[in-house]
Amino acid sequence: MRLQVFDSATATAKAAADRVAATLQADPGLVIGLASGRTPIPVYAELRRLHAENGVSFSRAVTFSLDEFAGIDADHPGSFHSFLQQHLLAAVDLDPTRVHFLNGQAADLDAECDRYERIIADAGGIDLLVLGIGVNGHIGFNEPGETLAARTHRVVLHDATRDDNAARFGGNPAAVPREALSMGMGTILKASAIVLIATGAHKAACIEQAVRGPLTTRLPASFLQTHRHVDVYLDRDAASRLSSPNPERG
């Protein structure tokens, strides 16, 4: 894992956006996986700016949303479909036929997960995956547990994750769906390159565990250590527990 630490959340977001834009300019047909959540909001804002002011084009890119809540409409304000439309997709020159989401309202959610795996494979796999991390170490909606799923799958969300997502559901954790669909750990680890972004002191502990801790299903992000090409973009607060000169020995 390659770690980069920046002075502020804004500088972190700018560096991550520059990385995505540079990769896209080198490979205009880039297949990009996109996380939702608070962390990437300034990253996507910077990508919108780079599109509007610097001519960065998404016209040949392909996108896949990382995850989605089950049981809500795509245009529900809490859906990740709405989130990505609002923060990135509607404001850049993506071809709508190359923009892919999980359908949380599919009649058969397992078949929907299979469909998603198929269309990711048909696109040639994900070239660059933009990830955030939950305070419990989840990536996508791969929650900590005894086991982890390899493929895109249905997930029962932990209460802490539902609490964390309440803001998009009128501030009411009970309104956050209990289930979600998520790319699996294998889907994530098959991406050619991964950009993991974390900002804020509340992410310091999970980042320490993900980067320096043992591989464990109890902290799904720890498996990113096994990937050959992960760039971790952190602000000083999120990196604050990594300062030990010999961190591997604690």
Q: Which of 67, 112, 143, 208 binds ligand F6R (CB under 6 A)?
A: 67
The span from the CA of 246 to the CA of 231, in Å, is: 20
At 18 the three-state DSSP class reads helix
In whole angstroms, the minimum distance from the beta carbon of 47 to ligand F6R comes to: 16
Q: CA nearest 115: which of 153, 172, 81?
A: 153
What are the percentages of helix, strand and coil residues in the chain, rounded to 5? 40, 20, 40
C-beta of 92 vs 181, nearer to ligand F6R: 181
* Contact window for ligand F6R (CB under 6 A) among 30-38, 208-216, 223-231, 238-246: 30-38
Give how far Cα 184 sits from Cα of 89, 140, 197, Å.
23, 8, 19
Single-letter residue type at 191: A
In whole angstroms, the minimum distance from the beta carbon of 54 to ligand F6R comes to: 25
Letters for 81-100 (x = contact with ligand F6R by CB under 6 A, - = none) are: --------------------
Q: Which of 9, 47, 50, 66 binds ligand F6R (CB under 6 A)?
A: 66
CB 167 within 8 A of CB 175: no
Q: Which of 19, 20, 37, 189 binds ligand F6R (CB under 6 A)?
A: 37
Verify binding: residue 221, ligand F6R, rule CB under 6 A: no
Structure token digits, residue 194: 């991964």
C-beta of 134 vs 144, nearer to ligand F6R: 134
* Contact window for ligand F6R (CB under 6 A) among 52-60, 90-98, 127-135, 206-214: 127-135
Q: Residue 40 CA to chain centroid, in angstroms?
A: 8
87 is catalytic: no
CB 131 within 8 A of CB 188: yes
Q: CA nearest 232: which of 188, 203, 202, 197?
A: 197
Residues 133-172 interacting with ligand F6R (rule: CB under 6 A): 133-134, 138-140
Verify binding: residue 130, ligand F6R, rule CB under 6 A: no
- Paired residues of 58 in beta bridges: none
SS3 sequence of 48-89? HHHHHHHCCCCCCCEEEECEEECCCCCCCCCCHHHHHHHHCH
Verify binding: residue 220, ligand F6R, rule CB under 6 A: no
Residue count, binding to ligand F6R (CB under 6 A): 14
Residues in contact with ligand F6R by the rule CB under 6 A: 35-39, 66-67, 80, 132-134, 138-140
Question: What amino acid positions are annotated as catalytic residues?
Answer: 67, 136, 138, 143
